[in-house]
Amino acid sequence: MSPSGGAPPDVATARRALAGLDRSLEDRSGGRLVLETSAGVPLLLARLPGKLRVAFTTRLGGVSDPPFASLNLSTKTGDDPGAVGQNLARLRRALERVDGETERGAGHSALTLISPSQVHGTRVVGAAEHREQMAEADGLVVHPDLDRGTAALLLFADCVPVVLVGEVDTAVVHAGWRGLLEGVIQQGARAMTGPPALAFIGPSIGPCCYEVGADLRARFAARYGSRTVEGDRLDLWSAAEAALGEIGVLPAQVINPRLCTSCQTELFYSHRRDGPRTGRQGALAWWSGT
Ligand SMILES: [Zn+2]
């Protein structure tokens, strides 16, 4: 844990970090992700044809105090629920602004954010189904007809966010080491109507920072190959890419900007870096103007 773990970036530092991300994102993502600040909330937005929207948040643009500063989206790690509520309202406004208020129109109801209770399992359910049952799940599928006006929001502070994009629907998956070993990404593909053709890997802990024990390294090497291990560190990104290969997503169709949550204190929360009292950033998918 670094001594500054969880400390909020001052305005100038945050601005510099965002400018750096803005400059590098085109190269990092092959032009498939762009940084856009919407209603004061910086978002990493996917460039996709059609009405599907995919976004990743950073820790910037919210109201939470340290060590949760500032756009913490979780009430589960000790932050003031009032502040988290304000952050979620800011995020909702930002997403609606991305859609374009004219497109959505005055007669449309606001976008609803749906978040499951994440348990490091492999259950992936439809967002509509989740809304009715409030189930524990580590992935949500959003469908353009079944989930109108609904954005799937999953929360992260090192685990790997994976968004699977298919011809019909899309899935947002929470893949930590347990989920990766147990096949949560593969399960996400099974829960979709058609096979995924494209995938986004969001900000998560990189092989630069994820030291683990020999036993876990051996399990990953056995399951996903030796390239998932670098010295005494684990490469969750390689494991996620291998899992995506198993469900037919070609390497050229995997967009991984390789943004390490632990390295980039100014931009992201990291459980490994900051300990349990830190915030959560989000990965989102929704259908615009439906
Ligand atoms: Zn790192």
Residue 209 Cα to ligand 1 middle (Å): 4
Cα–Cα distance measured from residue 248 to residue 250, given in angstroms and rounded to the nearest whole number = 6
Residue 212 domain-assigned?
yes
Residue 5 domain-assigned?
no
Residue 1 domain-assigned?
no
Query: Which pLDDT belongs to residue 143?
Result: 95
Residue 33 Cα to ligand 1 middle (Å): 20
Domain count, the chain: 1
The SS3 of residue 99 is helix
DSSP secondary structure, 122-148, as one string: --EEEHHHHHHH--B-SEEEE-TTTTT
Residue 204 Cα to ligand 1 middle (Å): 9
Residue 122 Cα to ligand 1 middle (Å): 26
DSSP secondary structure, 163-201, as one string: EEEESS-EEEEEE-HHHHHHTHHHHHHHHSSS-EEEEEE
pLDDT tens by residue, 88-124? 999 999 999 998 864 555 545 579 999 999 999 999 9
pTM of the model: 0.94
Question: DSSP label at 252?
Answer: G
Residue 137 domain-assigned?
yes
Residue 264 domain-assigned?
yes
Residue 264 Cα to ligand 1 middle (Å): 7
Counting as low any pLDDT under 50, the low residues of the chain are: 1-4, 102, 107
Residue 3 domain-assigned?
no
Query: Which pLDDT belongs to residue 289?
Result: 79
Residue 39 domain-assigned?
yes
Structure tokens at 13: 């530092």
Query: Which pLDDT belongs to residue 2?
Result: 43
Residue 270 Cα to ligand 1 middle (Å): 10
Look up the domain containing 82 and give its range.
11-287
Q: For residue 167, what is the domain's CATH number?
A: 3.60.140.10
Residue 107 Cα to ligand 1 middle (Å): 45
Residue 233 Cα to ligand 1 middle (Å): 11
If residue 19 lies in a helix (H) or strand (E), which one and from where to where? helix 11-29
Residue 147 Cα to ligand 1 middle (Å): 35
Residue 6 domain-assigned?
no
Residue 184 Cα to ligand 1 middle (Å): 23
